[in-house]
Structures are given as C-alpha cells and as structure tokens.
Chain A
Amino acid sequence: MELWRIPLDRDHIQTMQGVVYILDERCKGCGYCIEFCPKKVLGVSKHFNRKGYHPPIVKHQTECVNCHFCEIICPEFAIYSKPLSVTESQNPQVTV
C-alpha cells in the first residue's frame, strides 16, 4: 500500500493474512480488483478463460491482508478472500 507516512505502531500491529480465490470462468476482465487491491497482490494473467477474458492471478500471495476489497468491488462474483488458517501444531505460539 502507498503510505505517505509510516504508522508509529507499525511493527507491533498485527495484520491478518488472507488467501484469495478466483473463479476464472465468471471473470470479465474489468481489472477493478487488480487496480484497487491496497497491497497490489493481483496481476493480469496471460491465459484466457472460456469467454476470452484475462482473469486476475495472484502475484504476491503473502501480501494479502484479507481486506475483502477485491471481493466487494468485483461486479461478477468472481473473486473472494478468506483468512489464512494457522495450523496450531506447526505454529504453537499462536493461540486462538
């Protein structure tokens, strides 16, 4: 995200991580999700879907903060995000 000032509490604020899912066949390639993702997670793919549009692809998965903006700006119900599940056994410090 383009920040004009770095928040003072930036290093101890926890941001959520998200996973974004794309339903390629619903996409009409408007580019809204790519343009308005605050973390620039998405890019234009080279491949076509069945209708001939270029759906978005995930370029920087770990940057996604699960803000859902791509999901709510999409006119086609073609993209959504979910929180990244943390497996406790692999990361025992994290408690729910």
Chain B
Amino acid sequence: MSIQSDQSDQQTHPLDDLLRKDRIPHIWCPGCGIGTAFSACLYAIKSSKLDLDHVSMVSGIGCSGRGAGYINLDSFHTTHGRAIPFATGLKLANPDLTVVVFSGDGDLFAIGGNHFIHAARRNMDLTVICVNNLNYGMTGGQVAATTPHLAKTTTTPAGNPETPFNLPLLAYASGATYVARWTILHTRDLTESIGEAIQKKGFSFIEVLAPCPVNYGRRNKLKPLDVLRIYQEKSIIKHFASPSELHLDLEKGITLGKFVDQDKPTWLDMYYKTTRKKS
C-alpha cells in the first residue's frame, strides 16, 4: 500500500469552489462557531444537487451576517434586521430561487424579530439558519434577546435579569413548517437538517448554537473547547419534543433535534389560489 499524496490538489479544500477564496481567512475569531455552521450550510447546499445558479444566500448585520460575503453564489448582505424581508422579495420576484437566510440571533430576533414572525406566519418559502451565540458579538458582547438568565455580558455585569426567547417555540407558534435545533458539534446532523430544510416547501427554521469565545465566552469563563464539551455532555437529542419544553439552559441540558416537520400551503400557493381564480 502506498500513500498517493496528490500534490496537485493538496491545497484544495472540498468547499473551495463554494467559497470566495480571496476573502479567506474570514473575519471570525479563533474558535468562533460561526465558521462551522457556515461550513455545514455549504456542505448541505453542495450535496443538495440543486442548480447553484438558482440558490442564493441573504444575511443581515453582525458577525454571522458576514456569511453572505463568503459564499461564491449570488448573495446579499442587507441592512440590520432586514435579511428576511429582502429574502421575501427575492423569492416572490423569482419563485424558482432557493433562498437561504444565514444570520445571527440579534439580527433575526431583536431588530428583525417582527419580520421573522410574519414570514413564518405567511409560510414564506425560505430557509432561515440562525447562529445563536447568546449575545451581540460584533458590537462588543452586549445582552441580547437570547442571552440566558443570569449570564454576564458587557451590559449585564451582575448577570442577566431577563428571560431569553425560546427560539424553536417562537418559530413554531408563528407558523414555521420545519423547526430544528443543533449545535456546531452536531455538525453532521446539522448539515442533514439544513439539507432537509432547503428541500422543504415552506418556512424552515434551524437554530444553531455556537460559541462566541471572544465576547460571551470570556465574560462567562467559557473557553471554546469547554463550550463544545458542554454540547457533548449536556445535550439530549429528542426529535419532536414539544417546543414549549425547549428553553435553553446550558446547566440543565440542551434539547436538540427536529421538532416540527409539517406541510402547509405556502404564501405563494395561497396567493395564487385567492387572487388568480380561473373564471
């Protein structure tokens, strides 16, 4: 047996064709989980067998919002919180497109929260991937709508007095047809789930837990490897768990899995049915 080290392709990562290589290394900090979530998304797109000329990615503002700038497909980096309305317009103007929204918790659920619930209510045919790093990373680690109770951030030095959103419950209650949650350590399940969500007709939502070592981690004494060990030790995979039981508590345990997978007519189906009746 001999190792055929093929020098010619030695420096070609399997995802290089989907990356804007001139912009790599990306801006994400060492140990930041966004890169792994993004990689899972690229693998899912790559193995989907879709015509890549008809796939596009939309991001908002924030660390995760940089995603759209690294994918070598048609992609859009929109204004803060407006990834979903932009993606909605894109989809309605060209219903043949597969539109993936890749953004962070602050962008999608704080400033863009209203857009999220209405796109889910309308069952807009989009796939929304939310990298949840539990704080506002890019602006310096302030408390977010997803920061766990009692966690320390720059704006809550004594601990967060508030209760965070339960994102899968919010997505389900608003009308999403596909809801899942994974961590970056469960990257195989995550990739499979993104693949399913892309194929699914209707509003699909996937929450990805990812460490932000530089801001959230530093203030809560969590090194990146420790966070991944927590993901390994404290997570329970429970498909179709009731969304109301999915509050995030890293101490008690994190429930992961696919929670909702249902079929409903999309906004476009309903629109055509209602307004373009054959006489």
Given the complex of chains A and B, what is the CA–CA distance between A5 and B159 in angstroms?
44
A30 to B30, Cβ gap below 8 A? yes
Residues of B within 8 A of A91 (CB): 1
Does chain A have a CB within 8 A of B92? no
Residue of A nearest to B35 (CB): A75
Residues of A within 8 A of B228 (CB): 32, 35-36
Does chain B have a CB within 8 A of A14? no
B2 to A87, Cβ gap below 8 A? yes
Residue of B nearest to A26 (CB): B25
| Cβ 8 A contact of B224, one of A30, A77, A85 | A30
Residues of A within 8 A of B24 (CB): 26, 76-77
Residue of B nearest to A32 (CB): B228
A86 to B1, Cβ gap below 8 A? yes
B39 to A74, Cβ gap below 8 A? yes
Residues of B within 8 A of A87 (CB): 1-2, 4
Considering the complex, which residues of chain A in the window 62-96 have a beta carbon less than 8 Å from any beta carbon of chain B?
A: 71-78, 80, 82, 84-87, 90-91
Residues of A within 8 A of B28 (CB): 75
Residues of B within 8 A of A38 (CB): none
A77 to B13, Cβ gap below 8 A? yes
Segment among B80-88, B137-145, B184-192 that sits at the interface with chain A: B184-192
Given the complex of chains A and B, what is the CA–CA distance between A28 and B27 in angstroms?
11
| Cβ 8 A contact of B184, one of A17, A53, A73, A80 | A73
Question: Chain A 41-65 against B: per-residue CB contact (8 Å), 1 yes, 0 no?
Answer: 0000000000101000000010000
Given the complex of chains A and B, what is the CA–CA distance between A87 and B1 in angstroms?
6
* Additional A-B contact list (7), CB under 8 Å, known A19-B3, A32-B36, A75-B36: A21-B10, A26-B25, A30-B31, A72-B43, A78-B13, A87-B2, A91-B1
Q: Which 9 A-B pairs have the closest CB atoms?
A: A75-B35, A28-B30, A85-B4, A30-B31, A75-B36, A72-B187, A77-B13, A30-B30, A87-B2
**Chain A residues packing against B (C-beta within 8 Å):** 17, 19, 21, 23, 25-26, 28-32, 35-36, 51, 53, 61, 71-78, 80, 82, 84-87, 90-91
18 A-B pairs whose Cβ atoms sit less than 8 Å apart in the complex? A21-B10, A23-B13, A26-B24, A29-B30, A71-B14, A72-B40, A72-B43, A73-B185, A74-B36, A75-B28, A75-B31, A75-B184, A77-B13, A77-B16, A84-B3, A85-B4, A85-B6, A86-B1
